Structure 1
């Protein structure tokens, strides 16, 4: 009875730790993810938003490759996460006054912190999966806890975007009332002009101009022409400064709360999630930093890692396409900034549901089927964005596009993360940051060329990278299955040898017993 009560208490404590770990990430990315979605819109002038995000992810990729494994080994995952979350606070503060000399340094600092946070996702999810298997006495199921975590993580997109929509919509309504009052006060001075243009003609003219603008400069034809951006700036930025400051204040508060939750409740993890066959684990090693870098590059040149490199890079590329191109070229350009949170909420809802379903049923569906389905849906989504005329897109149609792309993104993020757990289970301190490096490189490249290429050109590049990704993943999976088959054969051979040795021992025992019995019978005779 006492053992059962202790077991229940340990399970309750386990679930509390796991849920608080996930909830802290939920708060953090409710804030940062929402701001990231709007960077290409609210800081669209001179491409400051996309430029700052490029700095963040370029820095993040470099730090992930060179420093993340070293820091994780030296200080542990908890200390690294808590320190990294303070860099998000600095970035939020910089957005209150977005100019080059505030955004560039804080983007660089954020890049160093963001890579650590992404790197520990695999480490903590693997830690909780292993701990649960020990508590329950069942085989470890990393996919289950990755699915649960990313389901909660993707909910951040829903919550953060709904909060931003409420703030932006509320202040846009207030601004509209002010504009109407101002227009009414100047009505008398404009009566002469109004006598020459009827209301119906005025509305029709405005509608035609808007339709022509959407058809020529939105959707796949969006090239971020500076003159076009200047003429239509109200499509991209909040109509009232107080809306911007209120939204940033809420996001800043969420970041601070995330830091507090992880600082108080996150467990310290050291042990099985780190590579136990590396020289860097020797406490007497004086070349700790050099060995960490050497291990990272050695892992990077691993054949299996090289084969999964493209699919991880593509996952980041596709993620950045949604938050950079879909939000600006389709949502903001066609319907205005206030619709971005609504469309991104659909994206978050779909990604959340898919991540949860993957955690539950991934064993039934299998990795190959999920990746194939994601590739087919991405091709369909790109084709829609490429060939449909922007002025014929309705809000609900775009809602469906975001919902579909969100579900596919849920598959890419969860399943590429699971790949690293399955392929490199004993080297997660290096494999986790390597996943982060490649995923972040995809994001950095997408934001980096955002102002240089038109959306249509980017779509063609994405399709090429997707085709290459599926080819290399197929080769990686074949190698993994062959390796697993060799291990099983080796285990079977060992079992057979053990059984043969056991039979020989039993046979020798029987012979010795028969000899002893014969000698005893002779003595008696």
Structure 2
């Protein structure tokens, strides 16, 4: 990100500023006498001195980091951490473990693409229709559906002894995880919108950062833990996620009543 900002600053062309029709506008590569002939220039203050972009970027970065630090101390953000990290771990589990330990080992490497496609289709379908469903049944029941669905998926993955007759369950697992993944993708932004109405942009930055932490964590322990141990860890984190969201919504409801 920092290197991208530096490249942007270095390659950004210098654009002179002029007062055109009483408003400060950009006038790149346009001779001032030509603009005066057209009668469009009422006042010209000349080319302004180029600001120190490096200093501005540095100050904005420091301000953002300071705001992020204060946000990390907010009890609402602390309660939102488990669901963000869990979602990153779940997506990482899909691509690092389900494709390797289930799709390739049970159905063959050639079926990994098909399993990934049906998972994406299920996820997209749930995201499309889930918003209307959540509006009708409420966020609480939507959360309960995602919780029960993931509990069932992890239980099957931990207890299932694959055979040729039951190998079709691999497709069902990918479809089910796509449906619950769509539920979580709808729950997180709605929870952030309710909890942080004063500064949603900063909240979404925290959301992305915590999601990346969970995703990285899943791949970091990929070779250290066996699949069954990872499933147990994710079951515990799933329970913690639901409890933290329930506490958060309880606090928000109490604040509204007060």
TM-score, with length taken from structure 1: 0.38
Partner of 2:104: 332
2:256 counterpart of 1:484: yes
Q: Deviations over 1:229-286 (max 9, x none)?
A: xxxxxxxxxxxxxxxxxxxxxxxxxxxxxxxxxxxxxxxxxxxxxxxxxxxxxx9998
Structure 1 gap segments, 5+ residues each: 1-62, 72-78, 80-282, 487-525
Q: Quick one: which of 149, 152, 156 aligns to 1:384?
A: 156
Please name the residue that 2:62 is paired with.
290
Given the alignment of the two structures, is residue 458 of structure 1 paired with residue 224 of structure 2, yes or no?
no
- Please say if 1:360 is aligned against 2:99: no
Q: Is the 8 A contact 1:423 1:480 kept in 2?
A: yes
Q: For 1:412 and 1:397, how far apart are their aligned partners in 2? A: 22
Question: Which residue number corresponds to residue 405 of structure 1?
Answer: 177
Q: How many residues align?
A: 208
The 8 Å contact of residues 355 and 414 in structure 1, kept in 2 or not, is answered as: yes
Pairing 1:318–2:61 present: no
Q: 1:388 to 1:425 in 2, by over 3 A?
A: same
- The separation in 1 between residues aligned to 2:211 and 2:61, in whole angstroms, is 24
Whole-angstrom CA distance in 2 between matches of 1:404 and 1:475 = 27
Once the two structures are superposed, what CA deviation does each residue of 1:6-43 show, in whole Å capped at 9, x if it has no partner? xxxxxxxxxxxxxxxxxxxxxxxxxxxxxxxxxxxxxx
Equivalent of 1:441 in 170, 192, 213: 213
Structure 2 residue runs without a partner (length 5+): 9-54
Q: CA deviation at 1:353?
A: 1.5
Q: Give secondary structure in 1 for the equivalent of 2:120.
A: helix
| Distance of 2:117 and 2:180 partners within structure 1 | 15
Output aligned runs, 1:9-48, within 5 Å.
Answer: none
Q: Secondary structure at the match of 1:466?
A: helix
Query: Which is greater in Rg?
Result: 1
1:428 Cα deviation from its structure 2 partner: 2.2
RMSD: 2.2
Distance in 2 (alpha carbons) for counterparts of 1:485 and 1:345: 45
Partner of 1:426: 198
Q: Which residue of 1 aligns with 2:79?
A: 307
Q: Structure 1 residues 322 and 286 mapped into 2: Cα distance closer, same or farther (>3 Å)?
A: closer
Alpha-carbon separation, structure 2, partners of 1:284 and 1:335: 55
Structure 1 residue 288: Cα displacement: 2.7
Match of 1:17 in 2: none
Q: Looking at secondary structure, tell me which structure has more strand per residue.
A: 2
**More helix per residue:** 1
- Does the 8 Å contact 1:320/1:447 carry over to 2? yes
Task: Name the residue aligned to 1:517.
Answer: none
Equivalent-residue separation in structure 1 for 2:238 and 2:252 (angstroms): 21
Contact persistence 1:330–1:390 (CA under 8 A): no
2:31 corresponds in structure 1 to: none
Cα displacement (A) at 1:437: 1.0
The SS at the match of 2:94 is helix
2: CA distance, partners of 1:295 / 1:468: 26
Aligned partners of 1:470, 1:295: CA distance in 2, in Å? 27
